[in-house]
Amino acid sequence: MWFSDRRHFLSLAAAFAVVACGFTPAYGPDSAARGLLGKVHADDPGDKNGFDFVARLEERLGRPNNPAYRLSYAIAVTIEGLGITSSNVITRYSVNATATYSLRRSGSDVVIASGAIRNFTSYSASGTVVSTAASRRDANLRLMRSLADQVVTELTVAADAGNWAEP
């Protein structure tokens, strides 16, 4: 009983500390980043990685109804062998990706936010052909979702810092 009272007190104290330090929610009512929700149209994907990337962007920012912004992106993926046995068989692969992006207002060519992000994941190739193919697909999906999350985070920070997003 004492522990639950203590946890309640500590959670309230933590909440007050967060409010006291000036923390504001990224998508709060007065946030510039709120203007990104449902307003960003990403370029149409050209491959499976692009499809997964755009799907995650839309999951995080919402599907654009009346887009105010256009997001252009390019994704470069490289795969390299990591684990190599004494018989020269690769048992683990690293999937490395770089995504460059630029955000423009719809109907304008002026870039208001841009950047390049990098991330990686890996997968095992020591199972069957089918399990290795499934692992490779899963690794690519995880990587594209991670890249999209990073882009959303950077756009959110840029919107709040630069105050260019429309609320």
CB count in 10 Å sphere of residue 103: 24
CB count in 10 Å sphere of residue 83: 14
**Best mean pLDDT range from 81-85, 152-156, 159-163:** 152-156
Which residue, among 130, 123, 126, has the nearest Cα to 91 in the 3D structure?
126
pLDDT band at 167 (very low <50, low <70, confident <90, very high): very low
Is the distance from CB of 77 to CB of 96 less than 8 angstroms? yes
Per residue in 9-36, pLDDT (tens digit) is 667 666 665 555 555 565 555 566 677 8
Instruction: Give percent of the chain above pLDDT 70.
Output: 78
Per residue in 77-128, pLDDT (tens digit) is 999 998 888 888 888 999 999 999 999 999 889 999 999 999 999 999 988 9
**Continuous segment of H or E residues that includes residue 72:** strand 69-84
pLDDT of residue 59: 96
Is the distance from CB of 66 to CB of 37 less than 8 angstroms? no
What percent of the residues of the chain are helix, what percent strand, and what percent coil, each to the nearest 5? 45, 30, 30
Partners of residue 123 on adjacent β-strands? 93
pLDDT of residue 1: 47
DSSP annotation of 66: S
Q: How far is CA 132 from CA 65, 93, 122, in A?
A: 39, 10, 11
